[in-house]
Structure 1
Amino acid sequence: MTQLDQTLQMMKDLTDAKGVPGNEAEPREVMKKHIEPYADEVLVDRLGSLIAVKNGKADGPKIMIAGHLDEIGFMVTRIDDQGFLSFQTLGGWWEQVMLAQRVTVITRQGEQIPGVIGSKPPHILSPEARKKPVDKKDMFIDIGAASKEEAMAFGVRPGDSIVPVCDFTVMKNEKFLMAKAWDNRIGCAIAIEVFRQLQGEKHANRVYGVGTVQEEVGLRGAKTATHLIQPDIGFSVDVGIAGDTPGVTSKEALAKAGEGPQILVYDGSMISHTGLRHFITDTADELGIPYQFDFVAGGGTDAGAIHVTAHGVPALAISIATRYIHTHAAILHRDDFDNTVKLLVEVIKRLDAEQVAKLTYG
């Protein structure tokens, strides 16, 4: 087994934590534990987003770096008489990646109940039906209960969280890291590491490292956290699509794992701020930090909520090219994490009130 360094252990703690939209307490506590030693203050807004503050200059510009704490998952909606669970998806799920996957049901008491997503077996379906994906509404979760009463005796109730199962794994090529919840604990990990690397560094800003809640169901935590912070500059750090697997063309997805952070020029929630985008890429060019441009026709990140808060916030989404997003197991590259952290640290060191004013009104 690979010996985990400080950064890998932090990543493992974050991704192994269980936290679907609306129930992010566990990853929030993990993020707090890892970022608090480098922060001047840590608070939680009333929706549940974690906000850590690191002051460079007391009256300097406010720079927000946001990853989201929540991961895609499910919620128990009903227990039938045989003890099988109906569920609601939380976040975007594609039926073909769901069946026969292991899950954990989290009860009110914190009990973790193992389960598996099931459906009618193909052996008893018509040939026509076997050719079609099973609809989510025809799936259920089997927790090994013999009746509704037994499932309830386990502590299971409607509203309980259901979390995918995939332990953090360093792959044979140790640059590649597999886990559930990279979407988007990698953003939280980047915020933590930026705070760590700013220790002892001089800069003229107030930096806010944020773990937002409920991103996967509508960028909700980013709205409340941004209202609280009122930032001058906002960065959302999330996962993006990796176009380096078989069958994917460069027209469908531009980025490749390991070739630098993705600078999003456009997505379904935001057109990137031109001045901020140029400032980021100029800094990367100056320092030889690799990066990739990308765009996503649909979907969005927390930057979509950040940039339209109050009177408007110059904002940019930075993504990590990740394979198999919105499944139980995703894979990303350690170098992309390191280069994203390096880029954000250097950008923060170069920002001050004068530069922020140029970006805001330029």
Structure 2
Amino acid sequence: MTKLDATLQMLKDLTDANGVPGNEKEPREVMKKYIAPFADEVTTDNLGSLIAKKTGSVEDGPKIMVAGHLDEIGFMVTNIDDKGFLKFQTVGGWWEQVMLAQRVTIMTKEGNVPGVIGSKPPHILAPEARKKSVDKKDMFIDIGASSKEEAMEFGVRPGDSVVPVCDFTVMKNEKYLMAKAWDNRIGCAIAIEVLRQLKEADHPNTVYGVGTVQEEVGLRGARTSAHQIKPDIGFAVDVGIAGDTPGVTEKEALAKIGEGPQIIMYDASMVSHKGLRDFVTTTADEAGIPYQFDFVAGGGTDSGAIHLTANGVPALSITIATRYIHTHAAILHRDDFENAVKLIVEVIKKLDKDTVKEITFD
């Protein structure tokens, strides 16, 4: 790989870090390294979400929360059989079609152990069984151990986290970036970059760049971190569905990668706040920042927890159209990342107490 610029290096460090729900230490440390220079203070809540605070020109200005989640989907070791094969539990949403024969890393107290997800080979299955996808309960992880004792000598124990393997890759068209964990280290990167660009900006808000934990298992860190912050406005920055691959119709997914961040009107966790949505899109129109409207009938983002904090928080999800989410390797477009940052920065510069009040009751 050729030498990466500073932004690509940050994206590589974030996505190469391993962190499934409940074990987000690695990506949290990476995010802290990159966001701390632009924050007045960096703390965590008691569940482990990272909270970087930057006060603007007014001490008691509106509190603006920009949250990406640190965790990625993965697995957990539940049992080691007598032959040294590992049984596992999915942590986050997986589709069996994308799991089999994929490389994984087991995170043990003594270091990382490589493995691969296996199952009974199709050659010995009945013809009807070959036509069906293998159920995850019939899969296992092979770590090259000859016995349970040897697997334990490697350091493997029940409860260990298991993560997909896919190195960060700049593709031939250098705007296209492939990695594991775009869901949702790209949101963490957006939060970092927003604070960086606001460091010297004149605005009356207190901005919180947040890396939440355990989003993939129920928006849990967003709930605890928002409770600690008590924001006046909340943005969840995450990935969204890309509708530009073969077989996907516009009825199923509207957005195309490279055509701007997605403004989510509706998902299973919330109906976006109309006043905030209109303010954001008007800002984008005035600044000439491209964006796309989208909706997701199933699934949700951290906005689903943020907007229910205390007596309610106007919240909006701004997402990056990403191909092949919830797999080992996903692809997004650098321009969408940069435009999402630009949009959120412009929005925050326009916010103040009166504007927030007007948005809230619009």
Equivalence for 1:79? 80
Q: Deviations over 1:228-253 (max 9, x none)?
A: 00000000000000000011111110
Query: C-alpha separation between the residues in 2 aligned to 1:51 and 1:200?
Result: 20
Contact 1:205 1:351 in 2 (8 A): yes
Pairing 1:217-256 to 2, within 5 Å after superposition:
217-256=217-256
SS at match of 1:64: strand
Query: C-alpha separation between the residues in 2 aligned to 1:3 and 1:183?
Result: 24
SS at match of 1:156: coil
Match for 1:216: what amino acid? E
Contact 1:237 1:317 in 2 (8 A): yes
The CA deviation at 1:2 is 3.1
Query: C-alpha separation between the residues in 2 aligned to 1:82 and 1:308?
Result: 48
Match for 1:262: what amino acid? Q
- Identity rate, percent: 80
Query: C-alpha separation between the residues in 1 aligned to 2:302 and 2:252?
Result: 23
The CA deviation at 1:179 is 0.2
The CA deviation at 1:108 is 1.9
Q: Deviations over 1:11-37 (max 9, x none)?
A: 000000000000000000000000000
Match for 2:172: what amino acid? K
SS at match of 2:33: helix
Pairing 1:26-65 to 2, within 5 Å after superposition:
26-56=26-56, 57-65=58-66
Equivalence for 1:260? 260
Query: C-alpha separation between the residues in 2 aligned to 1:74 and 1:330?
Result: 18
Calculate the TM-score normalised by the size of structure 1: 0.99
Match for 1:58: what amino acid? E
Pairing 1:59-208 to 2, within 5 Å after superposition:
59-109=60-110, 111-208=111-208
Query: C-alpha separation between the residues in 2 aligned to 1:162 and 1:89?
Result: 9
Equivalence for 2:349? 349
Query: C-alpha separation between the residues in 1 aligned to 2:237 and 2:59?
Result: 25
Match for 1:98: what amino acid? M
The CA deviation at 1:199 is 1.9
Pick which of 196-205 and 165-174 moved more.
Answer: 196-205
The CA deviation at 1:192 is 0.3
Query: C-alpha separation between the residues in 1 aligned to 2:336 and 2:2?
Result: 20
Query: C-alpha separation between the residues in 2 aligned to 1:2 and 1:287?
Result: 34
The CA deviation at 1:3 is 2.5
Match for 1:90: what amino acid? V
The CA deviation at 1:361 is 1.8
Contact 1:2 1:170 in 2 (8 A): no
Q: Which runs of 4+ in 1 moved over 6 A?
A: none
SS at match of 1:343: helix
Q: How many residues align?
A: 361
Equivalence for 1:18? 18
Match for 1:96: what amino acid? Q
Q: Deviations over 1:131-176 (max 9, x none)?
A: 0000000000000000000001111000000000000000000000
